[in-house]
Amino acid sequence: MMRKMSNPPHTKGESLTKDELIQSLIERVEELERKTLELRDQNQQLESEKRYNETQRIRYEREIRRLKSEIEQLRSPPLIIATISDVFDRNRVVVRSSAGPRFLVRTSQFIDSEQLKPGARCTLNQQSLAIVDILPSNFDIRVYGMELVDRPQESYEDIGGLEQQIIEIKEAVELPLKRPDLFKSIGIKPPKGVLLYGPPGTGKTLLARAVAHSTSAHFIRVIGSELVQKYIGEGARLVRELFELAKEKSPSIIFIDEIDSIGATRMDMDTSGDREVQRTMMQLLAEMDGFDERGEVKIIGATNRIDILDRALLRPGRFDRIIEIPLPDLKGRMAIFEIHTRDMSIDRSVNLKDLAMMTEGKNGADIRAICTEAGMFAIRAERSKVTREDFVKAIEKVGVDYHKHHTASPFGAMYA
Ligand SMILES: Nc1ncnc2c1ncn2[C@@H]1O[C@H](COP(=O)(O)OP(=O)(O)OP(=O)(O)O)[C@@H](O)[C@H]1O
Ligand SMILES: [Mg+2]
């Protein structure tokens, strides 16, 4: 352009074309500038798109890595669960797998040697059987299931006619937990536990629940038959863990209901099942000896077959107090009637003493059933109050039902 500008002008027509040329050139430049801007815009856009795609790619790569490790995990073989039974050093640990045999194994270096303790549960690699991990809790889930978290509803007021027994159980269980100093100052060891025995339906379980209601101690309830397990040594381990849990949560009360299912007299029996039950009981005896009397763990046992219980369970030092829960007498039956009719709307014709006299030989559970049945009769007759008539019919009905179930037919006897 400079060169053209410097050329001398020739004709008017030529200069015009020159102007035109300049004009067109200017236009061209402007157009080019516009184009540049446009392209720059486009470039920016592509640039940001590229950045977006880049992050997207990174995200997908991460996802792939995650899925790959997930697949890896799903493909990895299961770990064997075992219990550590002895520790020599980090590389020599004796474990017993849940299937039975014992192994001397190595441990992963990531395991804290603090955690390598006999009794801890761990996982083993399937091939090398090396300890891979220590499981957090060494209690059986079943033991945790036994712990009563909610306080039972029943209180001492809901028990009729067992005043003396309530005093005894309070002394033996509640007092040592609430006032251990009393025993210290006198210099005697408080009882370790009590055994409640008596005929069915007389309120043994009820009494234990009332104790749990009135103390703030942890209440752990097991039924004897729950401690009878399928595999050898399992029952004994459950008992051990039960007491460990009780100690950990102390003050606590262990309530073993229907204790006769593990505490029956040892005899020369041959089936392995019986021997396993005996082992469970021996563990129970050992645990009851083992813990300190002043420790804050109390045991309550309940049974209606004290006659078949092993003598070792009954000797002082195990259950120090053996409390009989008899069939209720007249006064007792009256009290029980009073408790179970507390919330019923009763006609004036009903005299509780009368009812108590009519129910000689009945237990607390019967009396509760009688009250319910009497209520049912009133409902059936569409009355708003329960009359004496209803109670009399109910007593008859409950009595009949009882006899129907308890007179064994010859066929029943054959299968019994
Ligand atoms: N003394 C009592 N006072 C009030 N209610 C009672 C009494 N005894 C029994 N009952 C009633 O009978 C029900 C059953 O009693 P419980 O379960 O305590 O019997 P148990 O003595 O444990 O019998 P088992 O030996 O068969 O286990 C109780 O829930 C309660 O309603
Ligand atoms: Mg019971």
Do 340 and 363 lie in a common domain?
yes
Ligand 2: centre distance to CA 303 (Å): 7
* 366 found inside a domain: yes
Do 57 and 126 lie in a common domain?
no
pLDDT value of residue 272: 66
Q: Which helix (H) or strand (E) segment is 134 a member of?
A: strand 131-134
Spatial separation of the C-alpha atoms in residues 330 and 189, rounded to whole Å: 37
Do 172 and 281 lie in a common domain?
yes
Return the best residue to mutate from 165, 195, 202 for the ligand 1 pocket (most ligand atoms within 8 A of CB): 202
Range of the structural domain that residue 64 is part of:
33-76
* 96 found inside a domain: yes
Report whether 123 contacts 79 (CB < 8 A).
Answer: yes
* 5 found inside a domain: no
Could you tell me the pTM of the whole model?
0.66
Do 249 and 375 lie in a common domain?
no
Rounded CA Rg of the chain: 42
Please spell the DSSP secondary structure of 135-203, one letter per residue.
-S--S-HHHHHHEE-SPPS--GGG--S-HHHHHHHIIIIIHHHH-HHHHHHHT-PPP-EEEEE-STTSS
Q: Which helix (H) or strand (E) segment is 400 a member of?
A: helix 388-406
Spatial separation of the C-alpha atoms in residues 23 and 180, rounded to whole Å: 113
Read off the CATH number of the domain in which 366 is found. Answer: 1.10.8.60
Q: Is the peptide bond before 191 cis (omega within 30 degrees of 0)?
A: no
Encoded amino acid at 32, one letter = L
Tokens for 205?
């379980």
CB burial of residue 323 (10 Å; 0-12, 13-18, 19+)? buried
Q: What is the mean pLDDT of each run of 10 residues along the chain (416 residues)?
A: 48 69 93 96 96 96 95 87 86 82 87 82 87 74 63 88 92 86 87 90 91 86 81 79 82 88 71 75 82 73 88 83 92 93 90 90 92 93 91 87 55 40
Could you tell me which of 214, 123, 125, 126 has the C-alpha nearest to residue 167? 214
**Of the residues 105, 138, 171, the one at which a domain ends:** 138
Report whether 80 contacts 123 (CB < 8 A).
Answer: yes
Report whether 214 contacts 319 (CB < 8 A).
Answer: no
Report whether 239 contacts 299 (CB < 8 A).
Answer: no
Do 161 and 173 lie in a common domain?
yes
263 in contact with ligand 1, CB cutoff 6 A: no
Q: How many CB atoms lie within 10 A of CB 341?
A: 20
CA distances from 14 to 3, 6, 19 (A): 15, 14, 9
Do 70 and 99 lie in a common domain?
no
224 in contact with ligand 1, CB cutoff 6 A: no
**Residue with CA at minimum distance from ligand 1 atom 6:** 364
* 387 found inside a domain: yes
* 110 found inside a domain: yes
Do 168 and 289 lie in a common domain?
yes
200 in contact with ligand 1, CB cutoff 6 A: yes
162 in contact with ligand 1, CB cutoff 6 A: yes
Do 315 and 387 lie in a common domain?
no
Ligand 1: centre distance to CA 364 (Å): 5
**Of the residues 265, 293, 324, the one at which a domain ends:** 324
